[in-house]
């Protein structure tokens, strides 16, 4: 694991508590780098003690707006310059729509919320189509997909891992010879990157894909 900006910040954090698996930091750096210093909007679902909000603020810079969504009213205390706090359930589509109405776009959505399967799926299905056309959606702590107390279980229908498997078919729909309809997900998604306990969906409007041949010697 490399010691990038986020990893160094985390290890030297002397302020609000942050709790992360260490291997997540390389993932963050790899996928979030292009948004640093940009006029971006970052939504973190699940605030906890507020430390990660401070980390994102430091990493992305003052031009970026950080939004934290949490069901715990106590989290309102973490509001600060450049950090907006919304109190509500991640599965409440009215709350998600309120956030979308306040901001012209969301570039990054990071789901570190309840980790309950029904919440994760409801949030993803409502929010992902509304993420910016060049944005991304990251879900972490996917190990709960294997835990029954979160609604998970190995190969259990209705888990977020099973949704990911279905989306692998969806993103390749154009090659399925009509068996799989080409969905809006397929038309708007450039990649799905799966790690230990993390998945990153990156959006980019897909034009006509072409296979070409060059050379011939």
Phi, psi of 151 (to 5 degrees): 85, 10
Annotation says 115 is catalytic: yes
> Which residue among the candidates 115, 126, 143, 175 is catalytic per the annotation?
115
Q: Count CB-CB contacts under 10 A for residue 66.
A: 24
d(CA 56, CA 67): 10
**How distant, in Å, are the alpha carbons of 10, 76, 98, 129 from that of 88?**
27, 11, 11, 20
If phi > 0 it is left, if psi is from -120 to 50 it is alpha, else beta; for residue 132 that is beta
Tokens 């990493």, residue located: 59
Annotated catalytic residues are 115
């Amino acid at each position: 694991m490399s010691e990038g900006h986020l990893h160094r910040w985390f290890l030297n954090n002397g302020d609000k508590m942050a709790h992360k698996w260490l291997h997540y930091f390389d993932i963050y750096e790899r996928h979030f780098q292009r948004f640093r210093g940009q006029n971006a909007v970052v939504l973190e679902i699940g605030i906890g003690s507020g430390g990660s909000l401070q980390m994102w603020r430091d990493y992305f810079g003052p031009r970026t707006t950080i939004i934290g969504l949490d069901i715990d009213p106590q989290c309102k205390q973490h509001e600060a310059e450049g950090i907006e706090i919304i109190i509500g359930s991640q599965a409440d589509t009215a709350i998600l729509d309120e956030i979308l109405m306040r901001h012209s776009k969301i570039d990054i959505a990071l789901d570190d919320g309840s980790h309950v399967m029904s919440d994760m799926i409801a949030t993803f299905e409502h929010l992902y189509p509304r993420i910016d056309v060049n944005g991304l959606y990251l879900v972490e702590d996917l190990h709960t997909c294997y835990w029954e107390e979160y609604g998970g279980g190995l190969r259990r229908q209705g888990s977020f891992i099973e949704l990911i498997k279905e989306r692998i078919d969806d993103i390749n729909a154009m090659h399925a010879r009509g068996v799989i309809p080409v969905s809006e997900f397929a038309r708007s998604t450039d990649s799905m990157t799966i790690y230990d306990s993390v998945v990153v969906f990156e959006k980019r409007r897909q034009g006509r894909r072409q296979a070409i041949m060059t050379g011939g010697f």
